[in-house]
């Protein structure tokens, strides 16, 4: 439905005519397919998020405030997104205004000594990292990759990725922030509010950052973040990445203080032992089980394709027949990737020795084929920049994760094999890519210093084929069932089912209530309800901010 004329005009007056549109075709480029990517609720064939009422491209905090105030005046829902790679950034209800934050894309400051940057929503991991590297710093990049907004990951969603281990996950890295609250009021969080700069996100007193960002963020349902400060960390490498190679097999050859290893272990217990030893010893710049996302059986063949510009997916079957590929595949079943970065030559020497000792104690090994210079240099670049995340979708165009066991290294390693087994059985039916069941990937260190991991089992399918989409959903239903039966809880395949339903719109209240009431601690959502009522009085957000009202029991 169109916005009332006078409202549209008022919005146009705020942002300028070139930064607003309600053209139906243009609006349709702001709809997300529910047969797609990391939506964590379906997938559902040929279903899209609802069309927005208008799209606006605000250019300043003042404009955002004016828009939000106007929305309050007219009780119009709005949803801001910065880089638009997940369904949660799109409207869930009719007549919602979509804010595309892309024009606010400045890096306002990089404080070299105090190691933080101040960014606007449109700044992505790649650009911030490139600028930080010029002054010997680096930024954490969420697992979704460097195409994503730094601010979105830090303020509004999860923000976990391979460099959690050393770089801290974005929850931890978020410092001061500027937030246009759902009412349009401006809240400068932390030291910023006291006029003391960006360096601290907590306080004064009880940290009110807690209403804006918990374990997860508000996913665009509670106002708009317009700036934030992000903690950076040391980059002991060159000012820019000396990239070589032919597209897409780019690789980087860095000075001798970097190592990128793929290592594997004889058992999951040994794998977990290694993770604990790495954390206890305090080594590693980033660590991730990365390339297993292609699947236990396909990963090395895929690496062969990706590191050779003359190869394509069409070469996959032949590669899988290659005895050498088979040997490496077998040797890297229970693997992960780790990058060591020495702040000094001595530091690297010590880390290397300590890492070798860890491998010796756990009977682990370096997967030599992965550590050949060209492959290791490709892997190093991949992991540092995280600029190939669209490979998640390389096979059939869609992927979503299932299970997503989240917890200590012992927890996931206890159950990963069983979850993979279930998936393998379903793979045989043909709806999803047959990749070996265990396509789990995730960080070795879910937060700074380690301590937790995530096992997301990648499931790749074709969004264009109904059978594939529906077969994937059947697999996900089975995954949820197994998760509940085993006490793992509902897996990430349904993480957002309480927010958006099969029709792409807000999940009906009864269903939301049912899900929230079955949570280990329903009061979490009751408090969120109270906070939402207090700070979003006109309820101008969608159900991605999860609530349970007093009536529900």
Ligand X SMILES: Cc1cc2nc3c(=O)[nH]c(=O)nc-3n(C[C@H](O)[C@@H](O)[C@H](O)COP(=O)(O)OP(=O)(O)OC[C@H]3O[C@@H](n4cnc5c(N)ncnc54)[C@H](O)[C@@H]3O)c2cc1C
Look at the block and give the residue holding tokens 């007193």: 205
**Could you tell which of other proteins, ligand X, none binds residue 21, using a CB distance below 5 to 8 A set by kind?**
other proteins
- How far apart are CB 484 and other proteins at their closest, in Å? 15
C-beta closer to ligand X: residue 102 or 311: 102
**Could you tell which of ligand X, other proteins, none binds residue 388, using a CB distance below 5 to 8 A set by kind?**
other proteins
Helix or strand holding residue 71 (H, E):
helix 61-74
**Could you tell which of ligand X, other proteins, none binds residue 153, using a CB distance below 5 to 8 A set by kind?**
ligand X
- How far apart are CB 144 and ligand X at their closest, in Å? 3
- Residue by residue, DSSP assigns 353-380 as HHHHHHHHHHT-EE-GGGGSHHHHHHHH
**Could you tell which of ligand X, other proteins, none binds residue 149, using a CB distance below 5 to 8 A set by kind?**
ligand X
- Could you give the maximum distance between any two Cα atoms of the chain, in Å? 72
- Please return the burial class of 536, using the count of CB atoms within 10 Å of its CB with bins 0-12, 13-18 and 19+: buried
- How far apart are CB 523 and ligand X at their closest, in Å? 24
Under DSSP, the state recorded for 17 is: G
- How far apart are CB 99 and other proteins at their closest, in Å? 12
Structure-token pair, residue 100: 């595309």
Q: Where are the alpha helices (DSSP H) in 370-503?
A: 373-385, 409-427, 466-486
**Could you tell which of ligand X, other proteins, none binds residue 220, using a CB distance below 5 to 8 A set by kind?**
ligand X
HSE-CB of 181 using CA atoms within 13 angstroms: 18
Spell out a b/e string for 123-156, using b for 16 or more CB atoms within 10 Å of the CB, else e.
bbbbbbbbbbbeeebbbbbbbbbbbbbbbbbbbb
C-beta closer to other proteins: residue 430 or 508: 430
**Could you tell which of other proteins, ligand X, none binds residue 247, using a CB distance below 5 to 8 A set by kind?**
other proteins
C-beta closer to ligand X: residue 170 or 415: 170
**Could you tell which of other proteins, ligand X, none binds residue 200, using a CB distance below 5 to 8 A set by kind?**
other proteins
- How far apart are CB 2 and other proteins at their closest, in Å? 13
C-beta closer to ligand X: residue 290 or 379: 290
C-beta closer to ligand X: residue 159 or 364: 159
- How far apart are CB 298 and other proteins at their closest, in Å? 7
Question: Distances in Å between the alpha carbon of 317 and those of 68, 294, 430, 433, 452?
Answer: 54, 14, 16, 13, 36
List, in order, residues 6 or more apart from 362 with CB less than 8 Å away.
265, 270, 271, 273, 274, 277
- How far apart are CB 41 and ligand X at their closest, in Å? 13
CA distance 179 to 212: 9
**Could you tell which of ligand X, other proteins, none binds residue 277, using a CB distance below 5 to 8 A set by kind?**
other proteins
CA distance 477 to 491: 10
What is the contact surface with ligand X in residues (CB under 6 A)? 37-38, 79-86, 88-89, 101, 121, 142-144, 148-149, 151-153, 156-161, 219-220, 224-225, 389, 392, 544
C-beta closer to other proteins: residue 166 or 336: 166
C-beta closer to ligand X: residue 77 or 516: 77
- How far apart are CB 118 and ligand X at their closest, in Å? 14
C-beta closer to other proteins: residue 534 or 551: 534
């Amino acid at each position: 439905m169109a916005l009332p004329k006078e409202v549209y005009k008022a919005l146009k007056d705020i942002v300028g005519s070139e930064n607003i549109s309600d053209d139906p075709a243009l609006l349709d480029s702001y709809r997300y397919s529910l047969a797609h990517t990391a939506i964590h609720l379906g997938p559902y064939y040929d279903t899209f998020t609802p069309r927005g009422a208008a799209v606006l491209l605000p250019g300043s905090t003042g404009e955002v405030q004016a828009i939000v105030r106007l929305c309050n005046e007219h009780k119009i829902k709005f949803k801001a997104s910065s880089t638009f790679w997940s369904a949660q950034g799109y409207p869930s209800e009719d007549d919602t205004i979509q804010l595309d934050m892309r024009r606010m894309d400045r890096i306002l400051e990089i404080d070299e000594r105090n190691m933080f940057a101040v960014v606007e929503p449109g700044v992505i991991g790649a650009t911030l990292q490139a600028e930080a590297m010029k002054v010997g710093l680096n930024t954490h990049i969420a697992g979704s990759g460097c195409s994503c907004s730094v601010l979105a990951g830090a303020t509004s969603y999860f923000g976990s990725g391979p460099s959690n281990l050393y770089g801290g996950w974005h929850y931890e890295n978020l410092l001061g922030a500027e937030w246009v609250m759902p009412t349009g009021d401006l809240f400068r969080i932390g030291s910023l509010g006291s006029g003391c700069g960006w360096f601290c996100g907590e306080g004064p007193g009880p940290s009110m950052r807690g209403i804006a960002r918990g374990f997860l963020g508000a996913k665009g349902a509670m106002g708009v973040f317009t700036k934030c400060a992000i903690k950076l960390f040391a980059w002991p490498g060159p000012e820019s990445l000396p990239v070589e190679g032919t597209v897409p097999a780019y690789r980087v050859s860095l000075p001798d203080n970097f190592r990128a290893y793929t290592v594997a272990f004889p058992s999951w217990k040994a794998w977990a032992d290694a993770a604990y030893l790495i954390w206890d010893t305090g080594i590693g710049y980033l660590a991730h089980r990365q390339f297993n996302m292609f699947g236990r059986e396909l990963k090395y063949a895929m690496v062969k394709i990706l590191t050779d510009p003359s190869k394509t997916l069409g070469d996959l079957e032949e590669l899988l027949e290659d005895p050498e590929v088979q040997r490496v595949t077998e040797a890297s079943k229970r693997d992960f990737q780790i990058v060591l970065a020495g702040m000094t030559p001595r530091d690297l020497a010590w880390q290397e020795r300590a890492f070798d000792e860890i491998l010796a104690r756990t009977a682990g090994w370096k997967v030599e084929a992965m550590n050949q210079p060209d492959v290791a240099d490709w892997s190093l670049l991949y992991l540092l920049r995280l600029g190939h995340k669209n490979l998640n979708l390389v096979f059939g165009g869609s992927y979503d994760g299932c299970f997503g066991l989240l917890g200590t290294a012992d927890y996931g390693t206890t159950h990963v094999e069983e979850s993979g087994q279930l998936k393998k059985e379903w793979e045989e039916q043909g709806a999803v890519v047959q990749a070996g069941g265990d396509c789990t990937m995730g960080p070795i260190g879910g937060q700074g210093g380690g301590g937790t991991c995530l096992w997301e089992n990648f499931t790749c399918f074709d969004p264009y084929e109904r059978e594939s989409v529906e077969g994937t959903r059947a697999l996900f239903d089975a995954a949820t069932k197994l998760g509940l039966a085993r006490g793992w809880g509902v897996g990430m395949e349904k993480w957002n089912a309480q927010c958006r339903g099969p029709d792409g719109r807000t999940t009906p209240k009864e269903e939301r209530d049912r899900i929230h009431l079955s949570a280990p601690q329903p009061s979490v959502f009751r408090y969120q309800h109270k906070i939402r009522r207090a700070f979003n009085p006109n309820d101008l957000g969608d159900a991605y901010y999860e609530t349970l009202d007093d009536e529900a029991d």
